[in-house]
Amino acid sequence: MLKGINQWCYPEGTSLEKVLEYSKEAGFETVELNVNPSGGIGLTVDSRSDDAKKIKSLIETYDLEIKSISTALLWQFPLSSPDEAVRAQGRAIVEKQIELAAAMDVDTVLVVPGIVSEEVTYDQCYQRSQKELRKVLPLAEKHQVHIGIENVWNKFLLSPLEMSRYVDELDSEYAGVYFDIGNVLQFGYPEQWIRILGSRICKVHVKDFNTSVGNITGFVPLLAGDVNWQAVSKALKDLGYKGPLTAELSPYKLDTKALAADTAKHIELIIDAG
């Protein structure tokens, strides 16, 4: 498995060059960039394929790889929205992710499928998001880019059995799971999810969680929470997963580089634990 870090692990406004410099210095092997709003740093909704190729070349000058692209924009434009225009904007964001991934030879894009709320019922979220994903899957298949459905705190896909069913119903080898270990800890056991989701897992996010807090403020640095990292590491190795374990953590307030240095060491310990 590889040591990976997401761009969000650095304070907002950190230049792409510094993200890459600090990541390489800390010992990471891969970086995950995010598709940001217009005017953001790195990849944005306005980026073209040529822009993405230049960024890929820049990444390589730091002797790093990029294997996945994320975005937070699907919280603003969810594929489950009751507004057709909002869903279309969300779909365009996923298409942009796929376009940029193809230009960079990246094989996975992270997608938050939808959000259950008082206005959007669970079954509506399920049906609408699948309908929108089926519209973008032909593009993903054309470019051989996997759509990794992430388990997040969106009150949706709350068990590994349901997530497996949701992905299987999309009926495409390019529909899979971007599994976030810390996100399931309040509701289950990530090592069990890994064994049930199996080969559907395209990529993995690592973060830790303190279950005694019991809400979204319970996320803590790696190894400081309640994840059974030995069991998780073993489950991933038994699965044959060889991709990145990508850290997605909140940056430290005192030192821009400190989180990267600490986290790289933590991921090494996690890899060795199983």
Confidence of residue 126 (pLDDT cuts 50, 70, 90): very high
Q: Which residues of 119-137 are buried (b: 16+ CB within 10 A; e: fewer)?
A: ebeeebbbebbbebbeebb
Mean pLDDT of 26-45: 97
pLDDT at 239: 97
pLDDT at 215: 85
Q: Per-residue pLDDT tens for 206-241?
A: 999 999 998 888 899 999 999 999 999 999 999 999
pLDDT at 217: 87
pLDDT at 49: 96
CB-based contact 247:267 (threshold 8 Å):
yes
Q: What does pLDDT average to over the chain?
A: 97
Mean pLDDT of 142-149: 98
pLDDT at 187: 87
pLDDT at 36: 97
Q: Which residues of 181-198 are buried (b: 16+ CB within 10 A; e: fewer)?
A: bbbbbbeebbbebbbebb
CB-based contact 74:93 (threshold 8 Å):
yes
pLDDT at 216: 86
Q: Per-residue pLDDT tens for 245-268?
A: 999 999 998 898 999 999 999 999
Q: Which residue has the tokens 């529909």?
A: 175
pLDDT at 94: 98
**Is the model's pLDDT at 188 over the cut of 90?**
yes
Q: First-to-last CA distance in the chain? A: 12
Q: Per-residue pLDDT tens for 9-32?
A: 999 999 999 999 999 999 999 999
pLDDT at 42: 96
Percent of the chain whose predicted confidence (pLDDT) is above 90? 95
Q: Rounded distance, CA 2 to CA 93, Å?
A: 27
pLDDT at 214: 83
Mean pLDDT of 58-74: 98
